[in-house]
Structure 1
Amino acid sequence: MKIVADENMPYVDALFGDLGEIIRVDGRSLQAQQLSDIDVLLVRSVTKVNAGLLASCKNLQFVGTATIGMDHIDTQYLDSREIGYANAPGCNATAVGEYAFIAMLELARRFSEPLKDKVVGIVGAGNTGSAVQKCLEAYGVKTLLHDPFVAQSADPRAFVSLDRLVELCDVISLHVPLTKTGRHPTWYLFDEKRLASLKPGTWLLNCCRGEVIDNRALIALKRQREDIKLVLDVWEGEPHPMPELVPLTEIATPHIAGYSLEGKARGTFMLYQALMARLDKSGDKSMDSLLPALWSHAVTLNEQPEEKGLLTLSRLVYDLRDDDELFRQRFLNNNGFDLMRKNHKHRREFSALTLANNACSDVDWLSNIGFSGVGL
């Protein structure tokens, strides 16, 4: 079996090595002639998988994308050729949720505006949006949700209209797929008009797809309204963000909100499971075996952490300021955006840090946020 995999997808050798030959490729520049005799293709969101790419693939059995979204995959074409495919829904939801939560804590600290005093609107209540809500509610922050699709399901949570959310919320965090058609398209969901309606002092975070916000309209808005605070992990025109937008943000990163070691391992492992099912084989690998040993012994809590202490604990796991600083230095370099993504291998999730409770009362909320070991 011949397997072609994106060079930035981790743990491929450990999981798929027993199945055949593995060839690593640059997913963004992948060409059809590289795939003529392959059996399995493993990609990320930077690869557009369509008829043009796969026309000469006579033996292709399976396409896997280690992403939540499928907008880069022509599933109708794959169905027409009876090629199996799978994505990895929820693989990086925890990482994205924690990224957004940490970013809010950083803004709260920077501008001396406690997060607990804010109302946070979450646009998109799927896996990643729900992960953000989980952190916020565990910490005691009020949230409002908007998701016209989930609202029509059996989900018991309350939902509001997008206009109502924008009207009421101090913080807005975006977690929707990118769609141009259908009843509720998300392309330029936050266009010039909607951006202009943001209440004074709004914090706007985008951790889904760059084109959910009209970036040129965002530049114009930010130049007129310094009160709006921006956290952008995704950009219109990736991997080439509009250079004039980056200095207008409070936190800027190269589409790495979901790039925890746990999230990466989970995504590749889900594709391994899907391929083994497609081959009607039982897999003998486990995800836990992929992750390195935890870097820290338990941190002992001697008192209930306030917001500053919570941010300190979060920085022990992932200091978002490092990625922000590096992005500003390198995003204009040749292939700077993609190289930062490729080399981003240091981040862990809250669960990597064990907290020991030294007789502190009521610390179960830290477990609910995601830290390990508390409440003992």
Structure 2
Amino acid sequence: MKILADQNMPLVEQYFADIGEVERFDGRQLTADQLIDVDVLLTRSVTQVNNELLAHANKLSFVGTATIGVDHIDTQLLNDKNIAFSSAPGCNAIAVAEYVISSLYALSQENARPLNNQTIGIVGVGSIGSCLAQKLQALNLTVLLCDPIKHAQGLLNEHVALDQLLAQSDIVTFHVPLIKSGEHKTLHMMDKARLKALKPGLTLINASRGDVIDNQALLEVMQAGADLDLVLDVWENEPTILTELLEHVRYASVHIAGHTLEGKARGTQMLYQKFCELKGIEATKSLDEFLPVPAITQATLGQSFNEADIARLVHLIYDVRRDDGILLRDLANNGFDSLRKNYPVRREFSTLTIQGDSSQLAALAQLGFTVAN
């Protein structure tokens, strides 16, 4: 059995080498000829799985994407060709939520503006949005949720319409799929009219899909003097992004919000488990076998540790400003895809075990840190 896997997917050999021969590919350069005699295709979001790519896929029986989003996959085509498909919903939800939390604390520090009593609007309440909302219960924030699809399905009672949410929030963060048409279209959800109407001082975070915000319109609004704090992990036309926008962005990164070691590896594990289920193979391997021990595993809190110190623990594990610095320093010489491919190892809050006598232990556990009994 021949297994073709994106070069940026971790642990594929560890999970799949016993099943077949693993060969790696560049996600943006994959051609139809490379799929000749391939049984399994494991991809990420940069590869468009469409009729053109599958033109010579004579043996393909399974396609898996180690991502939550599936807008890069022609699922109807796979169904028509009787090719099994699986995505990895929720694999990087924790990672993206922690990216947002790191950004919030960094902005709070730099703006000398406590998070207490601010209102944050979460647009899109799927795996990521709901994970973020749960974590934010640890902070003294008012959380507004916008997801008209879930609301229509009776799954979100507290839904706030988008324009109302934009007007009421101090921070707005997007976690929607890319939907290009229809009633719930998210392509250019933030168009020039909405961007111009945003209140001064608003923080706008996009860690979903770059096309959700009209990047050219955003540039024009910022050049016209809009007072917005921008945190952008995703961009239109990746990897050829609108570099003129960078000077207006507080924290910029190369579509890596979900790229913790745990988040990426969970995606691989989920595809392995689904493939084994479909083929009647016993799934015997688990993530704990493969993840390395992080550099820092424990922290002891003193009695003086308080709510204001939580940011220090968050940034001990991950500070978004590191990734902003890497992009600004290296984008011109190395390019977007190279920075993404060579992204430094990042771990999740749960890798740090907290002990000590502090009234903040419950909040830290809610954020995702491991709290010793």
TM-score relative to the length of structure 2: 0.97
**Inter-partner Cα distance in structure 2 for 1:115 and 1:362:** 16
- Once residues 94 and 158 of structure 2 are traced to their aligned partners in structure 1, the CA distance between those partners, rounded to angstroms, is 22
Structure-1 residue corresponding to 2:361 = 363
Matches within 5 A, 1:336-375: 336-357=335-356, 359-374=357-372
- Contact 2:305–2:358, Cα closer than 8 Å, also in 1: no
Per-residue CA distance 1:316-345 (angstroms, 9 max, x = gap): 1112211110101122235x2111111124
Q: What runs of 5+ residues in structure 1 fail to find an aligned partner?
A: none
**Residue 258 in structure 1 maps to residue 258 in structure 2:** yes
Q: Distance in 1 between matches of 2:266 and 2:163?
A: 35
Aligned partners of 1:352 and 1:371 also within 8 Å:
yes
Q: For 2:284 and 2:166, locate their aligned partners in 1 and report how far apart those are by CA, in whole Å.
A: 48
Rounded Cα–Cα distance in structure 1 between residues aligned with 2:219 and 2:43: 32
Report the secondary structure of 1:275's partner residue.
helix
Q: Write the distance in 2 (CA, Å) between the matches of 1:109 and 1:219.
A: 25
- For residues 107 and 306 of structure 1, the distance between their equivalents in structure 2, rounded to whole angstroms, comes to 19
* 1:271-304 CA distance string (max 9 Å, x none): 0011111111111101111211132242111136
- Give the conservation status (yes or no) of the 8 Å contact 1:189–1:212: yes
Q: Separation in 1 of the partners of 2:345 and 2:237?
A: 26
Task: Give me the whole-angstrom Cα distance separating, in 1, the residues matched to 2:221 and 2:115.
Answer: 24
Q: Contact conserved, 2:296 with 2:352, CA < 8 A, in 1?
A: yes
Q: 2 CA distance for matches of 1:213 and 1:313?
A: 31
Deviations 1:219-258 (A, max 9, x none): 1111223521100000011011111001110000000000
Alignment of 1:73-88 (within 5 A): 73-88=73-88
Instruction: Tell whether 2:82 aligns with 1:104.
Output: no
The aligned amino acid for 2:367 is: I
| 2: CA distance, partners of 1:243 / 1:233 | 13
Q: Is the 8 A contact 2:294 2:347 kept in 1?
A: no
Match of 1:213?
213
Distance 2:193 2:131 in 1: 29
2:353 and 2:18 map into 1 onto residues whose CA distance is: 34
Instruction: Give the aligned partner of residue 20 of structure 1.
Output: 20
Task: Report the count of equivalent residues.
Answer: 373
- Secondary structure (helix, strand or coil) at the match of 1:9 reads coil
Output the amino acid matched with 1:13. E
Counterpart of 1:58 in 2: which secondary structure? coil
Contact 1:2 1:39 in 2 (8 A): yes
Runs of 4+ in 1 over 6 A off after TM superposition: none
Tell me if structure 1 keeps the 8 A contact 2:103–2:319.
no
User: 2:320 aligned with 1:315, yes or no?
Assistant: no
Code of the residue aligned with 1:130 in structure 2: it is: S
Per the TM alignment, residue 37 of structure 1 is displaced from its structure 2 partner at its CA by 0.8
Aligned residue type for 1:365: A
Asked if 1:29 is matched to 2:24, the reply is no
SS in 2 for 1:5: strand
Distance 1:251 1:303 in 2: 33
Alpha-carbon distance in structure 1 between the residues aligned to 2:93 and 2:242: 27
Query: 2:222 — aligned with what?
Result: 222
Structure 2 contact 51–77 (Cα < 8 Å) conserved: yes
8 A Cα contact 1:121 1:169, kept in partner: yes
2:362 aligned partner, one-letter code: D
The CA deviation at 1:146 is: 0.5
> Residues 25-77 of structure 1, C-alpha deviation per residue, up to 9 Å, x if partnerless?
10111001111110000000000001110121111010000000110000111
CA distance in 2, matches of 1:155, 1:142: 20
- What is the root-mean-square deviation in Å for CA atoms of aligned residues? 1.3
Q: Could you tell me how far apart the structure 2 residues matched to 1:127 and 1:291 are?
A: 23
- Residue matched to 1:6: 6
CA distance in 2, matches of 1:284, 1:233: 35
Distance 1:304 1:51, change over 3 A: farther
1:61/1:108 Cα in 2 relative to 1: closer, same or farther (>3 Å)?
same
- Change in 2 beyond 3 A, CA 1:308/1:226: farther
Letter of the structure 2 residue corresponding to residue 9 of structure 1: M
Inter-partner Cα distance in structure 1 for 2:93 and 2:310: 21
TM-superposition CA deviations, 1:86-123 (whole Å, max 9, x none): 00000000000010111011011111111113100000
Cα distance in 2, alignment partners of residues 240 and 209 from structure 1:
14
Aligned pair in 2 of structure 1 residues 189, 29: CA closer, same or farther (>3 Å)? same
Provide the residue aligned with 1:239 in structure 2.
239
Superposition pairs of residues 275-290 of structure 1, within 5 angstroms: 275-290=275-290
Structure-2 change in CA distance of 1:206 and 1:304 (3 Å): farther
How far did residue 312 of structure 1 move?
A: 1.0
The Cα shift of 1:315 comes to 1.3
Distance 1:65 1:143 in 2: 31
Q: Which runs of 5+ in 2 are unaligned?
A: none
**Counterpart residue type for residue 371 of structure 1:** F
CA displacement at 1:183 relative to structure 2: 1.4
Distance 2:319 2:163 in 1: 33
Q: In structure 1, what residue type is equivalent to 2:195?
A: L
Aligned 8 A contact 1:109 1:308 in 2: no
Distance 1:215 1:297 in 2: 40
Q: Aligned runs of 1:116-135 on 2, under 5 Å?
A: 116-135=116-135
Q: Does residue 59 of structure 1 match 2:59?
A: yes
